Structure 1
Amino acid sequence: MASLKSKLRKGLMSSRGFRANTRNNLWLVYSNKLNTDVSLASNRELIYWLAKLEVDPLIECFSFGYQASLKLDGAQDKYSSVEVIKVDYSDRPFEFHHLSSGASETKCFRIPFLSEVGEEVEVTYVQVHEGYLAAQATFCVRLLKVVSFVAQIRDGTWKAETENISNVVRSFKNGTVQDLIELCHGIDVMIIIGICCRMVLSGQLILDLELNEFGRKSKWRLP
């Protein structure tokens, strides 16, 4: 008999998009890029979402748990259903990304894919290994705090405030979060921090999180 905890997990997953794997850590996160909550079924998915999918400005959209019919082995005749991450780019065709075990780095292949209309086409299949994810883990943990500030202002456009802060950023080109707070008079501090974090996730600002967690002393610069 399923426990109450497992039922709650399954219910949460179903409400946010059904995922097959419900045994690993479950994360429910806000994606600024998609402007919606996203369910992630493991720590590895969380790291890859933050390290690549959410912050790469060339990625327009992504979908976890996409079931793709692929020929992973060129010699086989039949297609296999594989759960992948479908990634849509602004400058090239979509790709399928797959998080794999192993310590090597990311590898790319061109493999046959059976489309929804039954047409066989070639797609780029990106195999992301644990070595890449492990190298990004510390940075991603620190970036989670940035995401939390963005989630707090998710229901507002803050158009005038964003334009004001953008003008300051373009004028000074680099500084600290505290500098922005002091320069943007008349704007609520939490709004300033939230917009700053939104600009980081959208690629408009580069935030230095190599050595320290996000805070008012964090340094930023233009790309």
Structure 2
Amino acid sequence: MKIVVLLSAGRHRVSGQPAPVPVELQALRLAVELGGEVTVLHAGPELGALADALGHGVGRLIHRVIADGDDPLPSLMAALTDNPPDLILAGRSGQGGEDAGLLPYSLARALGRPILADAAGLSAGPEAGTLAVEQALPRGARRRVVLRLPAIVTVHPAAPAPLPFAFAAMRRGVIESAPGISAPQAVEVEERPYRPRPKLIAKAAAGASAAERLKAATQAAGGGGTLLVDPSPEEAARAILAHLAALGLRRDG
């Protein structure tokens, strides 16, 4: 199986220095543990700290050199079309730049491939040419999905942590640099004057009295749940178990 992991130019959340995006390194671990031929692909002006990805279990990194501000999509498409992989992995979004998270979806549309979001685990599918994906859902839930290859999968931060960094492995890695496709990125910005929007009255207060309708219009909706102030360990444990049972994540008895 040929697997390509996409890397973006990220920055550290605290220092702001160039650094690999953690969720993309998690995607790299899923690719390595899945097995097969794993390659890392990046389109940007320079690699910088992204070369550290070679120390996390992959031996080949392809760099398509483009100018700062160019759209990386055409260069990525050209690299993926020359040697089409079975699986393309990407992070949920970048970190430190214009992180809209739309690139994997634009790439899937351009390549005509299906895309599945928020993978927390990958394994071989029940049939040849398929992939079993453990998809992360809200509130800690999981769902198993079987996806037919070739496809694109984005990785959720709930995936296993990146593999340990090995400096010797990074020195052994191979970096292949080649010119990319110059495509200035068109940014459309629309400015509108600020206009305060009226608050919507809750439907439950539609048939209520005037005082209740006024309260529904002016009072913020509560988040629900139970507030415990300095509870005992036993009381806190009972509240947590009851909350998990209400969410359907635990069965009593």
TM-score > 0.5, shorter chain as reference: no
TM-score by length of 1: 0.26
Query: Which has more helix, going by share of residues?
Result: 1
- Look at both structures and tell me which one has the larger radius of gyration over its CA atoms: 2
